[in-house]
Amino acid sequence: MSRLSYIQNKIVNPEQAARIINIWKMKGDQVVFTNGCFDILHKGHVIYLAKAAELGDRLVIGLNSDTSIQKQNKGIERPINPQEAREVVLAALGFVDLIVIFEADTPIELIESLHPNILVKGADYDPNETDPKHKKYIVGSDFVRKNNGQVAVVDLEAGFSTTSLIQKMKS
């Protein structure tokens, strides 16, 4: 298999992801799930994802589609990179096992279909927050816990954010 095919094979639809994850789980692998836009991949993203991957055996990323990002009011210029570019760059990371695009505002349906063992977000979220309307609430945390999974947060790398990079480029 070529290296490019190896990368492309990590990019799957939700149904394919569910089948692959079931096989991994039958083998005893702990599946870690995180999600985000990852618009301009930077050091902060890479460190965050590497730390998330260390929490289990397999790392699955739910990647916001372009439409999903536009619904988040991040600005008319976002995303900077289209989903096809973002998914390939993420899939090129050796510790990433699967990339799954989701169209919805949140990844709740994807989380419910994939049943990850461990749900991870950045430390700007609170794993103990139970109010879904609170900005620190981790979408899917209730579902993961009800299914004997864990919810964790990973410290963010100070000084790195896509928004600040965009502002820096504009000035």
| pLDDT for the residue 73 | 72
Structural contact between residues 123 and 153, judged by C-beta atoms closer than 8 angstroms:
yes
Q: Which domains does the chain have, with CATH numbers?
A: 3-170 (3.40.50.620)
| pLDDT for the residue 167 | 63
Q: Is 34 helix (H, G, I), strand (E, B) or coil?
A: strand
For residue range 15-53, what is the model confidence (pLDDT) as tens digits? Answer: 999 999 999 999 999 999 999 999 989 999 999 999 999
Q: How many CB atoms lie within 10 A of CB 16?
A: 13
Q: How many CB atoms lie within 10 A of CB 124?
A: 10
Residues of the chain with pLDDT under 50: none
Label the pairing between strands 98-102 and 11-12: parallel
Rounded distance between C-alpha atoms, residue 167 and residue 149, angstroms: 38
Residue 147 in tokens: 């299914």
Q: Is 109 helix (H, G, I), strand (E, B) or coil?
A: helix
Q: pTM for the whole thing?
A: 0.93
| pLDDT for the residue 171 | 75
Nearest Cα neighbor of 115 from 68, 148, 154 is 148
| pLDDT for the residue 156 | 84
| pLDDT for the residue 165 | 57
Rounded distance between C-alpha atoms, residue 64 and residue 41, angstroms: 14
Q: What share of the chain is helix, strand, coil (3-state, %, to 5)?
A: 40, 20, 45
Question: Who's near 118: CB < 8 A, 6+ residues apart?
Answer: 30, 31, 32, 33, 55, 56, 144, 149, 150, 151, 152
